[in-house]
């Protein structure tokens, strides 16, 4: 009797295994997110790092201008920070420092990557914890494309890039 049950088990489980949701269905963020399209602009892989309430976070992504005319990122905002600024890193003597910039040029047919050690968004005065696996709503402001909402995926505190989803 036991032998028959063991042999029948795979046949009984087959319908269950065949109807089980895939990883992407179980976790919607598991699939690679599609770039956000805004006119001629595509915003890919927006992410941030985990950070504490009251602290400062940073936003990263790649912005591609697929059009024939230049555009410019001129600002950003999020309800989860007191203020949001566009920053870059500059070398002052032997020290790298972050400095605000008025905008980031987006030449036609080119991509600009906001990444650690380069251009990035500063989320200053966070109003809540940024917890890995959650998202942060951010509105990017462009000269031509206007306001574009994106969701920054929160990664681990020491992350150097977005995880594959």
The two tokens of residue 148 are 């574009």
Phi-psi domain of 25 (left: phi exceeds 0; alpha: psi -120 through 50; beta: other): alpha
Torsion angle (degrees, nearest 10) of CA 98, 103, 109, 111:
30
Share of the chain above pLDDT 70, in %: 79
Q: Which CATH class is domain 27-155?
A: mainly beta
Given the structure tokens 């600002």, which residue do they identify?
Answer: 75
Confidence of residue 112 (pLDDT cuts 50, 70, 90): very high
- pLDDT tens digits along 133-149: 999 999 999 999 999 99
CA distance 103 to 74: 4
Overall average pLDDT of the 41-53 stretch: 97
Of 137, 156, 160, 130, the C-alpha closest to 51 is 130
Confidence of residue 13 (pLDDT cuts 50, 70, 90): very low
Residue 133, CA distances (Å) to 31, 50, 95, 138, 151 in order: 13, 9, 33, 16, 12
Per the CB < 8 A criterion, the answer to whether 72 and 142 are in contact is yes
- pLDDT tens digits along 16-37: 333 333 333 333 444 556 789 9
Overall average pLDDT of the 106-120 stretch: 96
The two tokens of residue 62 are 């790649």
120 pLDDT higher than 80: yes
- pLDDT tens digits along 60-106: 999 999 999 999 999 999 999 999 999 998 888 888 888 999 999 99
Query: Which are the contacts of 57, defined by CB distance < 8 A and separation ≥ 6?
Result: 48, 49, 51, 81, 122, 123, 126, 130, 136
**Does residue 6 sit in helix, strand or coil?**
helix
The two tokens of residue 28 are 């919607």
Measured at the CA of 161, the angle between CA 130 and CA 132, to 5 degrees, comes to 25
In the chain, where are the structural domains located? 27-155
pLDDT at position 89, please?
85
């Amino acid at each position: 009797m036991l032998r028959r049950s063991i042999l029948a088990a795979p046949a009984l489980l087959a319908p269950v295994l065949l109807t089980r949701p895939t990883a992407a269905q179980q976790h919607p963020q598991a699939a690679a997110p599609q770039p956000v399209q805004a006119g001629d602009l595509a915003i890919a892989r927006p992410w941030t790092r985990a950070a504490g309430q009251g602290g400062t976070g940073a936003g990263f992504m790649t912005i591609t201008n697929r059009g024939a005319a230049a555009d410019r990122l001129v600002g950003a905002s999020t309800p989860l920070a007191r203020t949001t600024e566009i920053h870059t890193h500059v070398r002052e003597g032997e020290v790298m420092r972050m400095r605000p910039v008025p905008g980031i040029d987006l030449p036609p047919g080119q991509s600009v990557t906001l990444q650690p050690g380069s251009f990035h968004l500063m989320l200053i005065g966070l109003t809540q914890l940024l917890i890995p696996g959650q998202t942060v709503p951010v509105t990017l402001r462009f000269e031509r494309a206007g306001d574009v909402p994106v969701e920054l995926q929160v990664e681990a505190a020491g992350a150097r890039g977005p995880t594959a989803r």
